Amino acid sequence: MLEAAFESDDVDELRDSYLGGACHALALAVAERTGWDLALVWAARGRRTEIAHAMVVVPGDEELYLDVGGIRGLPEILDDLRTDPDEEEAIIEGPVGPERIHALTRGRHAHRRFGEIGPELAQHAAETADRIVAALVTELKSGSAPRP
């Protein structure tokens, strides 16, 4: 899906950005445009649990998610996040609303992986979400939406 919406050079940059800490901004922007629920991935290693990723839940299939990599299942997302299933347990929290993600960006509940979403990041995430949603609509109309 991303290949249809972006130049090939842009795809690598977007993946780095939205898999490397800005995923919550993109997930919020996509959810705002689609009305779809959000989900969080937590990675547990021993007694330590950290937030790993934010994404949008694909309606009708709670095992598919939409993020910067397109529509895909959790195993592919975890692979992109370099989460080792032998060492870390992935825990899905969801569906959640935007307020849950915002709570993870501020106050005593702030999580270091989910920084505050400033105007520049919000604008970039909005533009990226517009292109992802447009590509998704095109694929759904053509009947070729990806399935893992």
Q: pLDDT exceeding 90 applies to what percent of the chain?
A: 51
pLDDT of residue 45: 84
Reported as a pLDDT band with limits 50, 70 and 90, residue 105 is confident
pLDDT of residue 47: 85
Reported as a pLDDT band with limits 50, 70 and 90, residue 78 is very high
- Report the distance separating Cα 28 and Cα 129, nearest Å: 9
Q: Indicate yes or no: pTM above 0.85.
A: yes
- Report the distance separating Cα 102 and Cα 11, nearest Å: 26
Query: Can you say whether the dihedral through the CA atoms of 95, 100, 105, 109 is positive or negative?
Result: negative
Q: In angstroms, how far is CA 14 from the centroid of its own chain? A: 12
Task: Please state which of the ranges 11-15, 24-28, 62-66, 122-126 shows the lowest mean pLDDT.
Answer: 11-15
Reported as a pLDDT band with limits 50, 70 and 90, residue 133 is very high
The number of beta carbons lying within 10 Å of the beta carbon of residue 107 is: 8
Q: Residue 54 in contact with residue 36, Cβ under 8 Å?
A: no
Q: Where in the chain does DSSP place strands (E)?
A: 38-45, 48-57, 64-67, 70-73, 89-96
Q: In angstroms, how far is CA 144 from the centroid of its own chain? A: 21
Alpha carbons within 13 angstroms on the beta-carbon side of residue 61 total 12
- Report the distance separating Cα 114 and Cα 84, nearest Å: 21
